[in-house]
Structures are given as structure tokens and as C-alpha cells.
Amino acid sequence: MGRWEPDSRGRLQEAALALFSERGFDQTTAAEIAARAGVTERTFFRHFADKREVLFGGSEVLRERIVTGVAGAPAGHAPLEAVADGLDAAAAMLGEARRDLTAQRQAVIAANPELRERELAKLAAYAAAVAATLRQRGVGELQATLAAEAGMSVLRAALERWANGHDDRSLPVIMADYLAELRAVTASS
């Protein structure tokens, strides 16, 4: 064992989620999070680029999963079908997480404009990565962008419903349903 307790990063994430839930994001300082995790404020900012990032630790892994799902779609799949495969991969990963923790995290994010802003940025990053993957599959730039962003809208709406417990269906089922709704509402009329 090292000079300090291991997994500072994980302790910081737990401490932050707890404090944000108790007092709110604005009423919690980075120094308080660090103290609760048993480290200094400087260490907090070594692990996380800014105070919000502590809530988005798993976002890169999720992005990779989504991209892998899209890239692994059969060659014959249309753009939105490939995106659907990416959503399946995301749903599989998120479905493994404890729903109560996801709900707690979503509640903290929903309660603060700065955190909502950051969540949008993360979704935009997913969309950009998915669009780039679609382009490698031969999809045009514009269609790739539009399909990817619409897919992330589906992801967010489904995740919100699932995490809040308003729907007892599994996350992949909700996502598939929501994707069908997207197709319905964008159908020419």
C-alpha cells in the first residue's frame, strides 16, 4: 500500500455526489469535497479538469462503447440503424449500473444549470464521435451529423425516463421504443 489511501479519484467522485445531493452543487466547494475524500483541493483539480467533471467520470468509457457499437453494425445497415446499434451498446452499459445511483446523479445534474450544460456538452461529444464513425462507413457529413444528434436525443430521453423509475421496462426496450417514435415524428407527411 502506498503512502496514501488508494483510489483518490473514486473517493472524490463519491464525496462529490454525496455533498452535491445534500447541499447542492453551488453550496459545495471543491475544498470540501477534497476534505471529505481525505485529500487536498489541489489533488481534486489534478484528477478533474473542473468542479463539474467529477460527476462525469465514466463518460469516455461510454463514448467508446457507443462508437464501438456503431462501428460494429452490419455493413448493410442504414445510418439510423447503425446509430441504433450504438444505443444498444450504451443501454447495455448503463443498464449494468445501479439505477438508484444513476437516478441520484441525474437528479443532481437536473438541479443545476451548469451541470446540465456540461451534460449537453458530453452528449454533443458522443454525437460528434458517432458522426465521425458513420462517415467512415460512407455516410455523408450532414446525414451523419443529423442521425447522430437525433440518436443522442433518444439516448437522453430514454435514460431520463429509465433512471427516474417512471418506466419499468428495461433501458434497451425503452430506447428501441423511443427510436421508433423518432422515426414516426420525422416521417414525411
In the complex, minimum distance from the CB of residue 38 to DNA, in angstroms, rounded to a whole number:
7
Q: CA nearest 45: which of 61, 29, 24?
A: 29
What does 3 bind: its own copies, DNA, none (CB cut-off 5 to 8 Å by kind)? DNA
Cell of residue 64, nine digits: 467508446
Buried b (16+ CB within 10 A) or exposed e, 31-48: ebbbebbebeeebbeebb
Binding mask 72-91 for its own copies (x = CB under 8 A): ------xxxx----------
Q: Give the one residue of 23, 24, 38, 72 binding DNA; rule: CB under 7 A.
A: 38
| CA distance linking residue 123 with residue 149, whole number of Å | 8
Which is closer to its own copies, CB of 62 or CB of 157?
157
Q: Give the one residue of 28, 106, 133, 145 binding its own copies; rule: CB under 8 A.
A: 145
Do the beta carbons of residue 131 and residue 67 sit within 8 Å? Answer: no
Residue 65 as a binder of DNA (CB under 7 A): the answer is: no
Residue 4 as a binder of DNA (CB under 7 A): the answer is: yes
